Structure 1
Amino acid sequence: MYRNPLKKTIEYLKGCGPERAKTLQAELGIFRYEDVLNHFPFRYIDRSKYYTIREIRSTAAEIQLKGQIISVNEIKMGKVSRLVAKFQDGTGTLELVWFKATKWQRDKLQNDLFKEVVIYGKLNEFNGNYSIIHPEVDTVEDAKKLPMGLFPVYPSTEKLQKRGISNRVIQKMVSSIFDENIKIEENIPQNLVSHFKMMSREEAYRTIHFPNNLDDLKRAENRLKFEEFFFLNLSMLSKKIQNKAKNQSHAFPVIGNYFNKFYNEHMPFELTGAQKRVIKEIRLDLKQPAQMNRLLQGDVGSGKTMVALLSMLISLDNGFQAALIAPTEILAQQHYNSIVEMLGDMNVEVALLTGSVTKKKREPIHENLLSGKLQIIIGTHALLEDTVQFHNLGLSIIDEQHRFGVAQRAKFWRKAKLPPHILVMTATPIPRTLSMTMYGDLDVSVIDELPLGRKPIKTISKTDANRLQLFGFMRNEIEKGRQIYIVYPLIEESEKLDLKDLMDGFESISREFPLPKYAVGIVHGKQKPADKEFEMQRFKRGETQILVATTVIEVGVNVPNASVMIIENSERFGLSQLHQLRGRVGRGAEQSYCILMVGGKLNPISKRRIESMCETNDGFKLAEIDLELRGPGEMMGTQQSGVLNFKIADLTKDKKILKAARTCVEHILKLDPTMSLPVHLNMKNYFIENLKEKVGWSQIS
Structure 2
Amino acid sequence: MYRNPLKKTIEYVKGCGPERAKTLQAELGIFRYEDLLNHFPFRYVDRSKYYSIREIRSTAAEIQLKGQIVSIQDINQGKVKRTVAKFQDGTGTLELTWFKITKWQREKLQNDIFKEIVVYGKLKEFNGNYSIVHPEIETIEDAKQAPQGLFPVYSSTEKLQKKGISNRIIQKMVTAIFDEHIKIEENIPQNLIQHFKLMSREQAYKTIHFPPNLDDLKQAENRLKFEEFFFLNMSMLSQKIQNKAKNKSNPFQLIGDYFNTFYNHHLPFELTGAQKRVIKEIRLDLKHPAQMNRLLQGDVGSGKTMVALLSMLIALDNGFQAALIAPTEILAQQHYNSIVEMLGEMNVEVALLTGSVTKKKREPILENLLSGKLHIIIGTHALLEDTVQFHNLGLSIIDEQHRFGVAQRAKFWRKAKLPPHILVMTATPIPRTLSMTMYGDLDVSIIDELPQGRKPIKTLSKTDAHRLQLFDFMKKEIEKGRQVYVVYPLIEESEKLDLKDLMDGFESVTRHFPLPQYAVGIVHGKQKAKDKEFEMQRFKRGETQILVATTVIEVGVNVPNASVMIIENSERFGLSQLHQLRGRVGRGAEQSYCILMVGGKLNPISQRRIEAMCETNDGFQLAEIDLELRGPGDMMGTQQSGVLDFKIADITKDKKILQAARTCVEHILKHDPNLMLPEHLNMRNFFIDNFKEKVGWSQIS
Q: TM-score, normalised by structure 2?
A: 0.96
- Which whole-Å deviations, capped at 9, do the CAs of 1:136-186 have from their partners, x for residues lacking one? 333333211102311111111222223322211211121121122222121
Judge which range, 261-270 or 187-196, deviates more.
187-196
How far does residue 516 in structure 1 lie from its aligned partner after superposition? 1.3
Rounded Cα–Cα distance in structure 1 between residues aligned with 2:673 and 2:92: 69
Give, in whole Å, the separation in 2 of the partners of 1:388 and 1:102.
62
Write the letter of the residue equivalent to 2:599: G
For residue 94 of structure 2, what is the amino acid of its counterpart? L
Give, in angstroms, the shift of residue 188 of structure 1.
Answer: 1.3
Indicate whether 1:162 and 2:162 are aligned.
Answer: yes
How much has 1:418 moved relative to structure 2? 0.3
| RMSD of aligned residue pairs (Cα, Å) | 1.9
C-alpha deviations, 1:527-570, integer Å up to 9, x for none?
Answer: 22211111111111111111111111111211101111000000
**CA–CA distance in structure 1, aligned partners of residues 162 and 450 of structure 2:** 59
How many pairs were matched up? 695
Q: How does 1:261-340 map to 2 (within 5 A)?
A: 261-340=261-340
SS at match of 2:56: helix
The alignment status of 1:72 with 2:60, answered yes or no, reads no
Choose 77-86 or 326-335, whichever is displaced more: 77-86
- Report how far residue 496 of structure 1 moved: 2.1
- Displacement, 1:37? 1.1
Specify whether residues 100 and 376 from structure 1 end up closer, same or farther in structure 2 by C-alpha distance, changes over 3 A only.
closer
Pair 1:55–1:599, CA change in 2 (3 A): same
Aligned residue type for 1:19: E
Deviation sequence 1:291-317 (CA, Å, 0-9, x none) = 000101000000111111111111111
Aligned to 2:501: 501
2:583 corresponds in structure 1 to 583
Matching residue of 1:182: 182
Q: What is the match of residue 440 of structure 1? A: 440
Give 1:525 deviation, angstroms: 1.4
Q: Matched residues in 1 for 2:106 and 2:325: separation?
A: 69
Aligned equivalent of 1:51: 51
Number of the residue aligned with 1:650: 650
Aligned residue for 1:253, secondary structure, equals: coil
How do 1:220-619 and structure 2 match up within 5 A?
220-492=220-492, 495-619=495-619
Aligned to 1:92: 92
What residue in structure 1 maps to residue 141 of structure 2?
A: 141
When residues 211 and 360 of structure 1 are mapped into structure 2, their CA distance, relative to the original with a 3 A threshold, is same
Assess if the C-alpha contact under 8 Å between 1:95 and 1:131 holds in 2: yes
Conservation of the 8 A alpha-carbon contact between 2:493 and 2:525: no
Q: Which residue in the other structure is 1:680 paired with?
A: 680
Q: 1:215 corresponds to which letter in structure 2?
A: D
After superposition, what is the alpha-carbon deviation per residue over 1:175-204, rounded to whole angstroms, capped at 9, x for unaligned?
Answer: 121122222121112221122111111111
SS of 2:416 mapped into structure 1 = coil
Alignment partners' CA distance in 2, 1:566 and 1:638 = 31
Please state how far the C-alpha of 1:116 moved relative to its aligned partner. Answer: 4.0
Alpha-carbon distance in 1 for matches of 2:104, 2:560: 78
1-structure distance, mates of 2:372, 2:150: 70
Q: What are structure 2's unaligned runs of at least 5 residues?
A: 697-701
> By how many angstroms is 1:100 displaced?
5.6
Give the corresponding residue for 2:689: 689
Structure 1 residues 504 and 59, CA, compared in 2 at 3 Å: closer, same or farther?
A: closer
In the alignment, the residues of structure 2 paired with residue 82 and residue 573 of structure 1 have an alpha-carbon distance, to the nearest angstrom, of: 45
Over 3 Å counting, the alpha-carbon distance change for 1:94 and 1:320 in structure 2 is same
- The CA deviation at 1:28 is 1.6
Offset of 1:322 from its aligned partner?
0.6
Cα distance change of structure 1 residues 450 and 75 upon mapping to structure 2, 3 Å threshold: closer
Q: Distance in 2 between matches of 1:98 and 1:341?
A: 73
CA displacement, residues 245-290 of structure 1 (integer Å, 9 cap, x when unaligned): 0000000110111111111111111111001100100000011011
* Letter paired with 1:148: Q
Residues 35-77 of structure 1: CA deviation (Å, up to 9, x unaligned): 11111111110011111111112364321112344x2344476
* Partners of 1:294 and 1:443 within 8 A in 2: yes
Q: How far does the alpha carbon of each residue in 1:16-43 deviate from its partner, in whole angstroms, 9 at most, with x for none? A: 2222222222222222221111111111
Q: Distance in 2 between matches of 1:60 and 1:512?
A: 56
Partner of 2:216: 216
Q: Which piece of structure 1 moves more, 209-218 or 8-17? A: 8-17
1:692 is displaced (CA, Å) by 3.0
Aligned partners of 1:105 and 1:505: how far apart in 2? Answer: 61
User: In the alignment, residue 434 of structure 1 is paired with which amino acid?
Assistant: L
Unaligned runs of 5+ in 1: 697-701
What is the alpha-carbon distance in structure 1 between the residues aligned to residue 106 and residue 271 of structure 2? 81
1:72 and 1:110 in contact (8 A); partners too: no
Deviation of residue 122 (structure 1)?
2.5
Pick which of 514-523 and 139-148 moved more: 139-148
Deviates most, 56-65 or 398-407: 56-65
The whole-number CA distance in structure 2 between the counterparts of 1:103 and 1:334 is 66
1:195 aligns with 195
What letter matches 1:435 in structure 2?
A: S
Which amino acid in the other structure matches residue 467 of structure 1?
R
The separation in 2 between residues aligned to 1:50 and 1:291, in whole angstroms, is 66
Separation in structure 2 between the aligned mates of residue 565 and residue 321 of structure 1, nearest angstrom: 38
Cα distance change on mapping 1:129 and 1:467 into 2, 3 Å:
same
Task: State how far apart, in whole Å, the 2-side matches of 1:455 and 1:601 are.
Answer: 32
Residues in 1 aligned to 2:608 and 2:80: alpha-carbon distance in whole angstroms: 51
CA distance in 2, matches of 1:569, 1:433: 31
Distance apart, 1:114 and its partner CA: 5.1
CA contact (8 A) 1:72 1:109 kept: no
Contact 2:294 2:445 in 1 (8 A): yes
Alignment CA distance shift 1:485-1:25 (3 Å):
same
8 A Cα contact 2:60 2:124, kept in partner = no
| Paired amino acid for 2:407 | A
Distance in 1 (alpha carbons) for counterparts of 2:623 and 2:80: 55
Paired letter, 1:132? I
Superposition TM-score, scaled by structure 1 size: 0.96
Structure 1 residue 101, shift from structure 2 partner:
5.6
The answer to whether the 8 Å contact 2:354/2:379 transfers is yes
The one-letter code matched in structure 1 to 2:89 is D
Native 8 Å contact 1:6 1:33 kept in 2: yes
**Residue 117 of structure 2 corresponds to which residue in structure 1?**
117
Distance in 2, matches of 1:105 and 1:627, equals: 43
| 1:124–1:347 Cα change, 3 Å | same
- The letter of the residue matching 2:509 is I
Q: Secondary structure at the match of 1:57?
A: coil
Please give the secondary structure, in 1, of the residue aligned with 2:386: coil
Q: Distance in 2 between matches of 1:74 and 1:601?
A: 48
Contact 1:564 1:592 in 2 (8 A): yes
